[in-house]
């Protein structure tokens, strides 16, 4: 395990070559880092992949039961553990990190297979104001983009960003488009957008740096329900073409 | 009942935050000055997690339509009950019909930026996902999931009930000062991408003063100082973040995530302001300058212990006041 940004008190033995490096995502070892005294961040090595995410789900399930963990929160091939109470010393912290490493080594993929939810999408037009930017960046036609975007079944890797929002895997890299230089102040709930190599659907109105290519109607979150989020990691989204406005 | 008389926006109902819903994409929200809230609740004999009104824009005015004890903590904002001036960090009794006015924060360079109005029993709003804090994105919690506005009516759980008043505290800004070269400071634990920044940038971060720009709010503080340069561009996958995380976007000017921060992000993380010092940041006014102090894990844990020891002393002092015989023997 590489320890990055070790606290000052860290024994040198815990430091690795990664400490001096500028490209922390490389290498084959996972990394553990601190988010203040509030949480630990565990990051799996390698390319973003569903198989890694299945091990993250497995690790989340196990660590959630640890007494020092308040919440195990999966991200994209990573896992944040918030503390019920922070370990009392650097030694106790390292012991927890070692236990986390061992749990990862032992974690078998947890093949969550939830529901497939179909979302009707109107691509382009008023509900997809940045379609032209995706066309310009990819060199593809609107029809090709719609075809490539609506073909996969996208697994929900994790929830985050805002209430009910799903991080999805599986987008075709041919329609990847960089985030916008200037974020849009507010995009509506149901906006279907592309940010870098990822796609997603906003669950409520708010600012976004992603390119909105269409819109759907789906309520992703209801705080009165248990659980409040409609989709869970392992569920899947399929976008059905309801219309294309050119 | 309490009626909001000013149109001053951005006042919100907050408790100690919503813990345990991160996995659904729900951030914690909660009081920017969690210590002011905790102390106010102790002064009133409230539950530790009772909700209060956080006021960041002044003047702010409201009218009590029922007798109600209240405590003012956080920024000292020259409060008046009708015309009578009020001490800050003090428990007061309001009578039906009286108007409370919070003026501009005072105290010169030491002034705070947010007042906490704590009410007897706490603000009576429904608990949503285990908290009464206002969650603006998604619009739930607090008062109708939004900031307060003129004409809103709130109820205090303990209004009309007898409560010991007329005592107060030395604020934590005086009891637990933290400065570097006369500038307010907060302690920071380095985060994952810290080693990925140029050595000169790392040195400048600790040595320099950072201005809190006007683009700062409950979501985050955008800072202005010497730009932080990565050795090479860093691309992060979306991952969990917490209040206090210092992100560095492409501009090189850092952003500190505050209580309304979203629970995940993708910018490189330089460090994290430790939880024990977030209340200091919550009181730092726009336009003011702050310094950062590098700390170790053990120092961060000790800082949290110090905060808890302060709250324990407050608790003991309040117990003494509340259990002493009442003057006049009512």
Instruction: Note the pLDDT tens digit of each residue in B212-237.
Output: 999 999 999 999 999 999 999 987 89
Q: Which residue of B has its CA nearest to A9?
A: B296
Measured CA distances, B321 to B38, B120, B187, B311, B325 (Å): 17, 16, 34, 15, 9
Which residues in chain A (74-113) have CB-CB distances under 8 A to chain B? Answer: 74-80, 82, 86-90, 93
Contact A203, A220 (CB under 8 A): yes
Positive or negative: CA dihedral B218, B222, B228, B231: positive
Optimal mutation site among A4, A160, A195, interface B, most CBs of chain B within 10 A: A160
Task: Give contacts of A10 with chain B, Cβ < 8 Å.
Answer: 296
ipTM here: 0.95
User: What is the average per-residue pLDDT within B53-68?
Assistant: 96
| Neighboring chain A residues of B262 at a CB cutoff of 8 Å | 160-162
Taking only the tens place, the pLDDT of each residue in B131-169 is: 999 999 999 999 999 999 999 999 999 999 988 999 999
Q: What residue of A is the nearest CA neighbor of B301?
A: A88
Listed by start position, the domains of chain A span 2-106, 116-245
Q: With residue A201 as reference, give the H or E element that holds it.
A: strand A198-201
Q: Would you call A203 an interface residue with chain B, using a CB distance cutoff of 8 Å?
A: yes
Under the banding of pLDDT at 50, 70 and 90, the label for residue B250 is confident
Contact status, residue B223 vs residue B254, Cβ threshold 8 Å: yes
Segment B185-205 mean pLDDT: 98
A152-171 core/surface letters (b: 16 or more CB in 10 A; e: else) = bebbbbbbbbbbbbbbbbeb
**Burial bucket for residue B294 (CB in 10 Å: 0-12, 13-18, 19+):** middle
Q: Rounded to an integer, what distance in angstroms lies between the CA atom of residue B158 and that of residue B46?
A: 9
**A·B CB contacts under 8 A:** 202
Judge contact between A63 and A134, C-beta under 8 A. Answer: no
Q: What is the pLDDT of residue A19?
A: 31
- In angstroms, rounded to a whole number, what is the distance separating the alpha carbons of residues A81 and A100? 10
Q: What is the DSSP letter of A189?
A: T
Nearest-by-Cβ selection for B237 from A38, A77, A159: A77
Closest residue, chain A, to B237 (C-alpha): A76
Provide the token pair at B274: 């430790």
Show contacts of A78-81: CB within 8 Å, 24+ apart.
Answer: A78/A41, A78/A42, A78/A43, A78/A44, A78/B237, A78/B239, A78/B240, A79/A41, A79/A42, A79/B240, A80/A35, A80/A39, A80/A40, A80/A41, A80/A42, A80/B22, A80/B239, A80/B240, A80/B241, A80/B242, A81/A39, A81/A40, A81/A42
| A5 in Cβ contact with A33 (< 8 Å) | yes
Residue A188 CA to residue A29 CA, distance in Å, equals 40
At residue A8 the predicted structure's pLDDT band, cuts being 50, 70 and 90, is very low
Question: Could you tell me the pLDDT band of residue B327, with boundaries at 50, 70 and 90?
Answer: low
> If contacts are CB pairs under 8 Å, which of residues 19-78 in chain A contact chain B?
19-25, 31, 33-39, 41, 43, 48, 70-78
Cα-only R_g, chain A: 20
Mutant choice from A14, A21, A36, A163 vs B, greatest count of B C-beta within 10 A? A36
Q: What is the pTM of this model?
A: 0.93
Render pLDDT for A17-40 as a digit per residue (tens, 0 to 9).
333 333 344 467 999 999 999 999
**Cβ separation A76–B237 shorter than 8 A:** yes
* β-pair type (A236-245, A116-124): parallel
- Give me the percent of chain A exceeding a pLDDT of 90: 80
Instruction: Give the Cα separation of B275 and B295 in Å (integer).
Output: 12
Q: What is the CA angle A129-A135-A137, rounded to 5?
A: 110
Residue A241 phi/psi, 5° resolution?
Answer: -75, 110
* Chain A residues with CB-CB distance to B217 below 8 A: none
Would you say residue A15 has pLDDT above 70?
A: no
Tell me the domain boundaries of chain B.
Answer: 2-173+310-323, 179-295
- On whether any CB of chain B is under 8 Å from the CB of A18, the answer is yes
Query: In CATH, what class is A2-106?
Result: alpha beta
Nearest-neighbour CA in chain A from B107: distance (Å): 30
- Provide the percentage of residues in chain B whose pLDDT is more than 70: 98
For chain A, the helix, strand and coil percentages under 3-state DSSP, each to the nearest 5 = 25, 30, 45
pLDDT digits (tens, 9 = 90+) for A228-245: 999 999 999 999 999 999
Using the beta-carbon criterion (under 8 Å), do B300 and A203 form an inter-chain contact?
no
B23 contacts A73? CB cut-off 8 A: yes
Task: Say which DSSP state B104 is in.
Answer: -
pLDDT band at B123 (very low <50, low <70, confident <90, very high): very high
User: Into which CATH architecture does domain B179-295 fall?
Assistant: Beta Barrel (2.40)
Distances (CA, A) of A38 to A171, B206, B274: 33, 21, 8
From chain B, the residues in CB contact with A185 under 8 A are none
Q: In what order do the strands lie in the sheet with B68-74?
A: B12-14, B52-55, B115-119, B68-74, B90-94
- Between B32 and B324, name the one with better pLDDT: B32
> CA-CA distance, A6 to B190, in Å (whole number)?
7
Residues in chain B with CB shorter than 8 Å from the CB of A5 are: 190-195, 271
Distance, in Å, from the CA atom of B200 to the CA atom of B198, rounded to the nearest integer, reads 5
Strand, helix or coil at A181? coil
Q: Do A38 and B242 touch (CB under 8 A)?
A: yes
DSSP state of B28: -
Q: What is the DSSP string of A72-92?
A: EEE-SSEEEEEESS--SSHHH
Model pLDDT, residue A110: 96
Tokens of A64: 């959630």
- Does A64 have pLDDT greater than 70? yes
Contact B95, B15 (CB under 8 A): no
Helices (H) and strands (E) in chain A, counts: 4, 14
**The domain at A116-245 falls in which architecture?**
Beta Barrel (2.40)
Alpha carbon A72 to its chain's center:
14
Tell me if B42 sits within 8 A of B154, measured CB to CB: no
**Dist CA B10 CA A23 (whole Å):** 40
């Amino acid at each position: 395990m590489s320890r990055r940004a070790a606290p000052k008190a860290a024994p040198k033995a815990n430091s690795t070559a990664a400490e001096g490096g500028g490209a922390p995502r490389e290498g084959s070892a996972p990394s553990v880092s601190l988010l203040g005294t509030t949480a630990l961040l565990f990051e799996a090595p390698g390319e973003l992949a569903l198989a890694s995410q299945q091990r993250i789900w497995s690790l989340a399930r196990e660590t959630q039961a640890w007494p020092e963990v308040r919440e195990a929160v999966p991200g994209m091939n990573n896992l944040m553990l918030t503390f019920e109470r922070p370990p009392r010393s650097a030694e106790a912290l390292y012991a927890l990190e070692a236990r986390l490493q061992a749990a990862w080594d032992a974690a078998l993929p947890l093949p969550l297979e939830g529901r497939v939810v179909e979302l009707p999408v109107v691509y382009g037009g008023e509900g997809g104001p940045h379609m032209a930017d995706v066309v310009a960046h990819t060199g593809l036609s609107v029809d090709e983009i719609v075809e490539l975007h609506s073909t996969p079944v996208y697994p929900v890797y994790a929830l985050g960003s805002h209430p009910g929002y799903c991080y999805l895997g599986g987008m075709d890299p041919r329609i990847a488009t960089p985030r916008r230089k200037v974020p849009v102040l507010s995009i509506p709930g149901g906006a279907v957008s592309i940010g870098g190599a990822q796609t997603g659907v906003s669950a409520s109105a708010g600012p976004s740096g992603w390119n909105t290519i269409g819109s759907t109607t789906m309520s992703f979150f209801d705080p009165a329900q248990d659980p409040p989020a409609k989709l869970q990691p392992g569920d899947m989204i399929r976008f059905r073409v309801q219309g294309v406005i050119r | 009942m309490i009626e909001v008389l000013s149109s001053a926006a951005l006042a919100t109902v907050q408790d100690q935050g919503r813990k345990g819903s991160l996995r659904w994409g729900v951030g914690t929200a909660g009081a920017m000055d969690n210590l002011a809230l905790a102390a106010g609740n102790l002064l009133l004999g409230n539950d530790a997690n009772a909700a209060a009104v956080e006021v960041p824009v002044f003047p702010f005015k409201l009218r009590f339509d029922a007798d109600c004890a209240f405590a003012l903590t956080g920024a000292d904002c020259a409060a008046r009950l009708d015309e009578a001036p009020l001490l800050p960090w003090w428990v007061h009794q309001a009578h039906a019909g009286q108007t409370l006015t919070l003026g501009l924060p005072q105290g010169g360079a030491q002034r705070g930026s947010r007042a906490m109005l704590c009410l007897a029993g706490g603000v009576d709003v429904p608990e949503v996902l285990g908290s009464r804090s206002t969650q603006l994105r998604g619009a739930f919690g607090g008062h109708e999931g939004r900031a307060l506005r003129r004409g809103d009516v709130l109820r205090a759980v303990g209004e009309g009930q007898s409560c010991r008043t007329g005592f107060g505290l030395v604020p934590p800004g005086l009891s637990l000062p933290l400065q570097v070269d006369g500038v307010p400071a907060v302690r920071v634990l380095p985060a994952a991408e810290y080693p990925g920044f140029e050595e000169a940038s790392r040195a400048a971060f600790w040595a320099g003063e950072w201005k809190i720009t006007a683009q700062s709010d409950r979501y985050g503080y955008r800072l202005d100082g010497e730009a932080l340069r990565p050795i090479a561009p860093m691309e992060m996958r979306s991952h969990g973040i917490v209040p206090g995380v210092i992100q560095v976007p492409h501009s090189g000017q850092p952003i500190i995530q505050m209580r309304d921060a979203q629970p995940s992000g993708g910018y490189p993380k330089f460090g994290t302001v430790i939880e024990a010092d977030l209340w200091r940041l919550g009181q730092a006014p726009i336009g003011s300058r702050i310094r950062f102090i590098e700390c170790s894990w053990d120092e961060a844990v000790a800082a949290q212990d110090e905060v808890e020891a302060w709250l324990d002393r407050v608790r003991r002092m309040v117990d003494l006041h509340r259990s002493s015989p009442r003057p006049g023997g009512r």
